[in-house]
Structure 1
């Protein structure tokens, strides 16, 4: 009898672990011709105060548009009403077959430093965010399982001022899609005690197809190297840059 009870208990625990909700939080600094040190893009795409048309948000390969219209395995759960001078838009998606939620935030392009600092703090398990959906409390910010920054590499131009926690309970996994992100974000990600599963070594277009591909690998519990290869294949497919160049663009982990 004790053996049967033990087996039932183990089975229930396994089911609970299997059904556990996972969360992803994506921080997007809107492309901004005026306030960021970028090669200018068409004015409609580079207005950092216009999420609807922005290159990294509302355009075809922007995070909101791509996950809403092109990522068939993700469904829009909520498009939030936002009244904030810094955070201009927020959307919540759910994976179509798994209990995984993705929250994406669009920051005013002029507030890119705030966006990056918020991402880094969350990577250090700070600033948790709770969202109620269908009587369920979802954990994002510093409580998310996976965090990502998308946008211009502002750390090329400014330093952040962050007090990192020295002790954390869980090491957060992060994706940083910005130009030369390994070089410029390494010190901060190391201080945040986060695990960089994907970032970049050269100039790149931080568009949502690469993010989606990397997330696909993360969902499948792939290694950093597998995610790196997946990202390279996807980037080449969209950019036609050559697979060798794409493989040289992405990397995982810290420099050895």
Structure 2
């Protein structure tokens, strides 16, 4: 009987450790849409002010990251708004999955500071700049220690070069998502230097709205392949954009161009 109790305790400890080890983190870098400082086709003024996250197209508007995850899906629960020491980050929010130990930290960068936003994303993709956040006595790892990294916004690499010093070796190759126009074309050299794994990016013009991000994350949480995540993105993009499934499938892709 004593042996059985010891064995039971051991199994409980193993299961507890396993459960704790399943905690996953996702860090989303959002460059706020900005009519003035980005090379974009202008959008209505209220949603194109890169210094006002509240109504911004990629953040507070209906399909922006904050609004969509907070108000339009039951899969993600808003935890809290957090402060950042980075002056370029105008809003920082934390979400937890409704049924799984998965957390999303999303940062809204001043649209004028799109270059630092992209550079921060690329550094994190290279396992640089780890960020630890404590919530309810639990340490959550973001930045370069996050399990999945995503960039949302204008493809600034169409307009400027970045200056990132990459580490030659990573402890762990990071999965990344890049939702921006022609992101595979323009981000490929940097993602290769970062030694990251692009599970989803694009081949043409697109609207980087949060339903695509959410759908891709769903697939990633379920350990789906890049091809499966690609199909998820195409299906949901067609649902909202009414662009035709063939066009949507041609828009999204996974991995590097062969």
TM-score (norm: length of structure 1) = 0.95
Q: Which moved further from structure 2: 77-86 or 229-238?
A: 77-86
Instruction: State the distance in 1 between where 2:248 and 2:115 align.
Output: 28
Partner in structure 1 of residue 238 of structure 2: 236
Instruction: State the distance in 2 between where 1:238 and 1:129 align.
Output: 34
1:177-256 equivalences under 5 Å are 177-256=179-258
Cα drift, residue 13 of structure 1? 4.0
Partner in structure 2 of residue 73 of structure 1: 75
Instruction: State the distance in 2 between where 1:14 and 1:226 align.
Output: 30
Cα drift, residue 167 of structure 1? 1.1
Helix, strand or coil at the partner of 2:133: strand
Instruction: State the distance in 2 between where 1:171 and 1:9 align.
Output: 32
Q: Which runs of 5+ in 2 are unaligned?
A: none
Cα drift, residue 205 of structure 1? 0.1
2:36 counterpart (4, 29, 34): 34
2:105 counterpart (99, 103, 106): 103
Cα drift, residue 15 of structure 1? 5.0
Partner in structure 1 of residue 144 of structure 2: 142
Residues 128-168 of structure 1 show CA distances to partners (whole Å, capped at 9, x for unaligned) of 00111001111000000000000000000100011100011
Task: Report how many aligned residue pairs link the two structures.
Answer: 256
Cα drift, residue 59 of structure 1? 0.2
Instruction: State the distance in 2 between where 1:208 and 1:88 align.
Output: 18
Partner in structure 2 of residue 113 of structure 1: 115
Instruction: State the distance in 2 between where 1:254 and 1:177 align.
Output: 15
Instruction: State the distance in 2 between where 1:154 and 1:33 align.
Output: 13
Residues 78-122 of structure 1 show CA distances to partners (whole Å, capped at 9, x for unaligned) of 112457531100000000101100000000000000000000000
User: Given the superposition, is the C-alpha separation of residues 223 and 8 from structure 1 closer, same or farther in structure 2, using an over 3 Å criterion?
Assistant: farther
Residues 228-252 of structure 1 show CA distances to partners (whole Å, capped at 9, x for unaligned) of 0000000000000000000000000
Instruction: State the distance in 2 between where 1:165 and 1:6 align.
Output: 44
Helix, strand or coil at the partner of 2:47: coil
Partner in structure 2 of residue 16 of structure 1: 17
TM-score (norm: length of structure 2) = 0.94
Q: Which moved further from structure 2: 91-100 or 77-86?
A: 77-86
Partner in structure 2 of residue 158 of structure 1: 160
User: Given the superposition, is the C-alpha separation of residues 135 and 11 from structure 1 closer, same or farther in structure 2, using an over 3 Å criterion?
Assistant: closer
Q: Which moved further from structure 2: 202-211 or 9-18?
A: 9-18
